[in-house]
Amino acid sequence: MHACLVSLFLSLSLSLSDSHFNQMEPGNDTQISEFLLLGFSQEPGLQPFLFGLFLSMYLVTVLGNLLIILATISDSHLHTPMYFFLSNLSFADICVTSTTIPKMLMNIQTQNKVITYTACLMQMYFFILFAGFENFLLAVMAYDRFVAICHPLHYMVIMNPHLCGLLVLASWTMSALYSLLQILMVVRLSFCTALEIPHFFCELNQVIQLACSDSFLNHMVIYFTVALLGGGPLTGILYSYSKIISSIHAISSAQGKYKAFSTSASHLSVVSLFYGAILGVYLSSAATRNSHSSATASVMYTVVTPMLNPFIYSLRNKDIKRALGIHLLWGTMKGQFFKKCP
C-alpha cells in the first residue's frame, strides 16, 4: 500500500510539474527548475564547523537508532508490542534525519546550494511522511501504555500482533495520504524569481512563501490538516496519560507506583521532547518572523530529538540496556575468538 502511494506521488509530481512549467504565463519566461537552500550561514569560515557538527550528530542518530532496532529484533524478551512500536519509532527517526541532513552536508561540502524542483518536492514529501508517522506512532504508543497500566490483565489480548500491525499500517497510510495532499497543493503554485529558501531543507511553509500565485488555499489546508491530524493524536496522548496518572494514584504501594510510572517515563519524555520542540519552533517563528531563526530552531525536532530518543530509552529502560549489553559482550567475545584463530 505504502509503495503504491509513493509510486503514485512520483508519477503525479513529475507530470504535474512538467505541465506546471508549460502553463506559466507568457510574460514570465523563467521556468522554475531549482531552488537555493541558504542553510544557516553564508560565512565560509563556519562551513567546516557546521559540516563536522551535523555529520557527527547524524552518525550518532543513525547508530543509536540502529542499535535500538537490532536489540528489539534479536532479543526474544523484547518481542512485545511496546518494543515493536519502539523499533518503528527508531526507524522513523533515521528516515527523518536521512531526508534532510545528507543533502545539507553535500551542499556544505560542494559549496553548491542548488536543489532541483523535483528533488525539493520529494524531500518535502518524505519529510512530512516520516514526521507525520512519528506523530501518529506516539499516539499509538500512548494507547499501548494506557492498556498496559489501566488494563494489565487484558493487555496481551487487546494488544495482539494483528492489532499492532494494523495500527502501524494505519499510521503509515494516513501519513502518506497527508504528505501526498500537501505536495499536490504545492504543485499547483506558480513560482517567480525569488527562489532562495532561508532553510537547510525544503520546509513546506518556506516553499509556499516563495510562490507568486495565491497560496491562501495552501495555508487553509495546512491549518485544517494540522489541527485535525496533529491535534487528534495529541488529544489521544493527553487522554491516555490522564487515565494512566489516575491509575497510578490508585496503586497503594510506593514500589508499585514507581514500577508503573517507570514503564511510561521514557515514552512521556519522548512525547514532551517531540511536541515541545515543534511547538517551540513554530511559536518562536511566528513571534520573530525570522526565517534564519526558524531554520536554527528546526534543528531541535529534525536532528536533536531523533538523536536523543535512543539515549532516553536506553538510559531509562533496563531491558534495552540488558539487550545492548548482551550484544556488545557477544561482539567482543566473537572478535576475540576470531582474533585467536589462525
Spatial CB neighbours of 68, under 8 Å, sequence gap ≥ 6:
86, 87, 90, 310, 313, 314, 320
Q: For the chain, how many helices (H) and strands (E)? A: 13, 3
Three cell numbers at 123? 524531500
339 vs 160 pLDDT, higher one: 160
Three cell numbers at 218? 495552501
What pLDDT, in 10s, does the model give residues 148-166? 999 999 999 999 999 999 9
Domains and CATH numbers, the chain: 2-10+33-322 (1.20.1070.10)
Residue 99 pLDDT class (50, 70, 90 cuts):
very high
Three cell numbers at 263? 514503564
Instruction: Collapse the DSSP code of 211 into the 3-class scheme (helix H, G, I; strand E, B; otherwise coil) and give the result.
Output: strand
Q: Which helix (H) or strand (E) holds 35?
A: strand 34-37
C-alpha 195/C-alpha 200 separation (Å) is 14
Q: What is the pTM (predicted TM-score) of this model? A: 0.84
What pLDDT, in 10s, does the model give residues 183-240? 999 999 988 776 889 889 999 988 998 898 889 999 999 989 988 988 999 999 999 9
DSSP 253: S
Three cell numbers at 292? 534564519
Name the one residue in this structure whose C-alpha cell is 534543528.
Answer: 299
What pLDDT, in 10s, does the model give residues 62-96? 999 998 998 888 888 888 999 999 999 999 999 99
